[in-house]
Amino acid sequence: MLQALIFDVDGTLADTELAHLAAFNHAFAEVGLDWHWDVPLYTRLLEVSGGKERIRAHWMERGDMPQDIGDGNELDELIAHMHELKTAAYAQAVQDGQVQLRPGVLALLSAAGDAGLKLAIATTTSPANISHLLQRCVGGDWQRLFAVVEDAVTAPRKKPHPQVYQQTLQRLGLPAANALAFEDSANGLRAARAAGLATVVTPNAFTAHHDFWGALQVLPSLQNLTLAQLRQWQAMPSFN
The residue from 36, 71, 95 where one domain ends is 95
Summary mean pLDDT of the chain: 94
pLDDT value of position 64 = 87
Nearest-CA neighbor of 41 among 57, 65, 63?
A: 57
Domain of residue 63, residue span: 17-95
The residue from 54, 75, 95 where one domain ends is 95
User: How far, CA to CA in Å, does 64 sit from each of 34, 61, 68, 169?
Assistant: 12, 9, 12, 43
- Say yes or no: 68 and 37 in one domain: yes
Total domains in the chain come to 2
**Cα–Cα distance measured from residue 87 to residue 27, given in angstroms and rounded to the nearest whole number:** 9
Predicted model pTM: 0.92
- Say yes or no: 113 and 64 in one domain: no
pLDDT tens for each residue of 16-64: 999 999 999 999 999 999 999 999 999 999 999 999 999 999 999 998 8
User: How far, CA to CA in Å, does 170 sit from each of 9, 131, 178, 200?
Assistant: 19, 22, 12, 20
- Say yes or no: 9 and 111 in one domain: yes
- Say yes or no: 44 and 111 in one domain: no
pLDDT value of position 225 = 98
Active site residue 8: yes
At 239, is the pLDDT very low, low, confident or very high (cuts 50, 70, 90)?
low
**Cα–Cα distance measured from residue 187 to residue 167, given in angstroms and rounded to the nearest whole number:** 17
Among 10, 15, 151, 184, the active-site one is 10
pLDDT value of position 127 = 94
pLDDT value of position 235 = 87
Q: What is the DSSP letter of 120?
A: E
Share of the chain above pLDDT 90, in %: 90
- Say yes or no: 118 and 30 in one domain: no
- State the CATH number of the domain containing residue 202: 3.40.50.1000
Q: What stretches of the chain adopt beta strand conformation (E)? A: 4-7, 118-122, 148-150, 179-183, 198-201, 217-218
Active site residue 76: no
- Say yes or no: 159 and 135 in one domain: yes
- Say yes or no: 26 and 141 in one domain: no
The residue from 95, 113, 142 where one domain ends is 95
Mean pLDDT of 67-95: 88
- Say yes or no: 75 and 11 in one domain: no
- Say yes or no: 8 and 32 in one domain: no
- Say yes or no: 139 and 200 in one domain: yes
User: How far, CA to CA in Å, does 117 sit from each of 58, 111, 131, 140?
Assistant: 41, 9, 22, 21
pLDDT tens for each residue of 124-161: 999 999 999 999 999 999 999 999 999 999 999 999 99
Share of the chain above pLDDT 70, in %: 96
- Say yes or no: 171 and 157 in one domain: yes
pLDDT tens for each residue of 59-73: 999 988 887 666 668
At 240, is the pLDDT very low, low, confident or very high (cuts 50, 70, 90)?
very low
pLDDT value of position 71 = 64
- State the CATH number of the domain containing residue 79: 1.10.150.240
- Say yes or no: 66 and 110 in one domain: no
